[in-house]
Structure 1
């Protein structure tokens, strides 16, 4: 089964590990595979429709005339956010057990049915959902729908199946955590604390061991309900197994619906250090996160904000890469996600263990100097660069008609998080006239040219704040090294929290 964890880009000489994008664990891996499976359906552009069964199950239908295959996708609007503390990984483990048999079929019989039909069978878990899907030839669409709805409604919760999948998940934990802990998870927990949106999707060895068949049954009974279930069926409408889906999923109790739509991650207040002891004695990874509140971030005019954000990251990157203590590469980047109540400025590097204090000092000092030292010269340099890049950009007058599969997948994901079904539109939005595009482009350029040195400096000062600074240390180093480096840079460490070291679990 495919399981979504926070996207972790490979660490290379030019790639930040913790910054540069969303800091929120997302369904990037699972969603991507599910969307890719859509491409195998084929067919022409058809119509979108939806219906709701009496028990609340919402069905989205994407007609693709001439398609040779059918995609069936069933999900619930609950995921790791609903895992109880101490039993993290429960939703993900339940996903695994759907592939291990049911009262109607043994695990081996299920596997043979899937193998005989061919196609793709997969599933994924994220913070807000558990999703199962299959893509099968049209001739097997009814059998595929029958099998998938059986897996969805009747996962194997017997002790022998649980022990088998418990072992499989533990192996997955070891594979994903060379230090005995997911570093991305440690970073998220440091920044966002116990916020449920930062839940560890896969769990820990300790939490996986604590999960019982009774726990899994309670989760299934609570969340696998009609009102919490969404279905996407895609293919040639003449072959879609809608009657089977209506009959089988119509048996679900109506139950309630989980509403995760208003959930946002809240950045923990105050300065903190988290150490993750590593197995590599030759290097230490350092990540400094400087949170920016949503009020501050949204309070800066977007034109100035973009200019300042680009300038800050460019200046920090230039200065960090020229620093002899930051020997293995250093990166600065902004990370922002709609699911969070703010943004992050992230500085990161990898250094030798004996350089941790100096590297910490230099990263904080560089950020502090940047905040206090932005003036007319910096503004002029970066404003010219941004204007040049904008002038090289041609206004895009091409507007492609959305693909039915993409719109259907978007509607499916939205329905998992909110009541009803919003199908969206398959019609292209009429492009602006060339004159209107030129006017909008000129207005944006003029706004950029009008930014003054004081506005630039004020925005830079607002975006770099040390009050809630967080430092993650992975490797053979101590919190005292980091705290000393912060003091050396003139950072007030009063109230600084030193969290217990995270150890192999």
Structure 2
């Protein structure tokens, strides 16, 4: 195995079978966060099996070769710790946050989930029903549903636009054997990244992982093709009629993966545009015009692309005014970029956000894994802060002109009388 020190207290080990293990020791904490990240998720699903990655993530908790579902639930909680999992676009994550003395138990339980689930056919129908309830919950929550509709409109023919939860039809067709096939193809050491942060000793972590069999086996080819860059639909308008008190609107476009050097100019612009109470959109649309309670800008990064968007919830009667005001702010930012005062403030805001986001072991763990999962180079915090400081007005203007142009935004409306506004920008 090859182990390198990336920074003070931060080490990375690459095993011959392809497994990557990272850890960061944080002085002064009594806990440790540990996660197993499987590089198989919704972006790798064929359309006929939408939702299979998320269903598998649920099903592993129904029992393993060594533990019942109840034992999995109790194992860490009775010690004050916690166990969690989620399915994303590019990877599926299984995580625990425990006292440092319980790290070996946490790794053992996570290993059970990832490597040794039973995946019994008898458990499938109840869990399928749980996810159907999850899908119904999204359908009944318009400020969640509008984001799903927007992704679907932006990427209609790519997995980034498909629901991670799947559909009732795709879930009904999935079998326990389908889950076992996916598990065999994707849930093996060389397709995983294991990260831990907190009161953790790297050598002891490796010892625990070796005991759990993580370094066994040969390296295998990844069971997936690299996710192709997704061509997005730009400038489209979609309206969905719903009997809701508000009209929910999402603007957005595709961007680029996290490893792209333009991520810091984009992050600064997103903050200035709609990142808080001081942002342009908040001040204009909420404070000056009184058209909304909730309005914000957001960004997501995926393995093959990214997403930049704006959400606003407003009264149906004021929806057109809100859209016009937001489009005007898009146009102003795309044409003018940022004056120096806003650029300086935006840099300071982003640096503060980066530092504050790393205050917990779980956040540090996620950051470590993210460098590997996004094929990015590890950067110490000080280097990241210097990169933010180095962003120029010209770089910001270039990103603003390309990604904030109003005509590039795909817009989705959800609410009463939305159909009558179809095609309006």
Alignment TM-score, normalising by the size of structure 2: 0.70
Which structure has the greater CA radius of gyration?
1
Structure 1 residue 244 and structure 2 residue 208: aligned? yes
Q: 1:214-244, CA deviations, whole angstroms, 9 ceiling, x for partnerless residues?
A: 1111111111122211112443429934323
Q: Among 309, 315, 332, which residue is 1:351 paired with?
A: 315
| 1:120 corresponds to | 82
| 1:205 corresponds to | 168
Give the drift of 1:85. Answer: 1.0
- How do 1:43-192 and structure 2 match up within 5 A? 47-64=9-26, 68-178=30-140, 182-192=145-155
| 1:271 corresponds to | 236
SS state at 2:163 partner = coil
- How do 1:298-309 and structure 2 match up within 5 A? none
SS state at 2:422 partner = helix
- Cα distance in 1 between the residues matched to 2:328 and 2:74: 62
- Cα distance in 2 between the residues matched to 1:341 and 1:175: 28
| 2:414 corresponds to | 474
SS state at 2:48 partner = coil
Q: Among 413, 418, 421, which residue is 2:370 paired with?
A: 413
Q: Is the 8 A contact 2:239 2:418 kept in 1?
A: no
SS state at 1:203 partner = coil
SS state at 1:216 partner = helix
Q: 1:424 to 1:407 in 2, by over 3 A?
A: farther
Give the drift of 1:268. Answer: 1.0
| 2:292 corresponds to | 329
Give the drift of 1:122. Answer: 1.4
Give the drift of 1:424. Answer: 4.3
Give the drift of 1:96. Answer: 1.5
SS state at 1:200 partner = coil
Structure 1 residue 219 and structure 2 residue 176: aligned? no
Q: 1:252 to 1:201 in 2, by over 3 A?
A: farther
Give the drift of 1:249. Answer: 1.8
Alignment TM-score, normalising by the size of structure 1: 0.61
Give the drift of 1:290. Answer: 6.9
Q: 1:273 to 1:317 in 2, by over 3 A?
A: farther
- The answer for unaligned runs of 5 or more in structure 1 is 1-44, 449-454, 487-505
Give the drift of 1:49. Answer: 1.9
- Cα distance in 2 between the residues matched to 1:283 and 1:393: 31
- Cα distance in 1 between the residues matched to 2:416 and 2:147: 18
Q: Is the 8 A contact 1:284 1:475 kept in 2?
A: yes
| 2:3 corresponds to | none
Larger mean CA deviation between 104-113 and 230-239 belongs to: 230-239
Q: 1:332 to 1:131 in 2, by over 3 A?
A: closer
Q: Is the 8 A contact 1:407 1:423 kept in 2?
A: no
Q: 1:393 to 1:425 in 2, by over 3 A?
A: closer
Give the drift of 1:155. Answer: 1.9
Q: Is the 8 A contact 1:317 1:332 kept in 2?
A: no
Q: 1:52-96, CA deviations, whole angstroms, 9 ceiling, x for partnerless residues?
A: 233222222334567644443212112111222133221112111
| 1:15 corresponds to | none
Q: Among 204, 228, 232, which residue is 2:191 paired with?
A: 228
Q: Is the 8 A contact 1:230 1:412 kept in 2?
A: yes
Give the drift of 1:166. Answer: 1.6
SS state at 2:49 partner = coil
| 2:221 corresponds to | 256
SS state at 1:86 partner = helix
Q: Is the 8 A contact 2:281 2:296 kept in 1?
A: no
Q: 1:77-118, CA deviations, whole angstroms, 9 ceiling, x for partnerless residues?
A: 121112221332211121112221112222233334334444
Give the drift of 1:462. Answer: 9.8
Q: 1:442-497, CA deviations, whole angstroms, 9 ceiling, x for partnerless residues?
A: x96xx89xxxxxx99xx97995454x6644231233635424x56xxxxxxxxxxx
- Cα distance in 2 between the residues matched to 1:85 and 1:103: 31
Q: Is the 8 A contact 2:248 2:313 kept in 1?
A: yes
Give the drift of 1:127. Answer: 0.7
Q: 1:409 to 1:260 in 2, by over 3 A?
A: farther
Q: 1:98 to 1:46 in 2, by over 3 A?
A: farther
Q: 1:106 to 1:187 in 2, by over 3 A?
A: same
Q: Is the 8 A contact 2:155 2:232 kept in 1?
A: yes
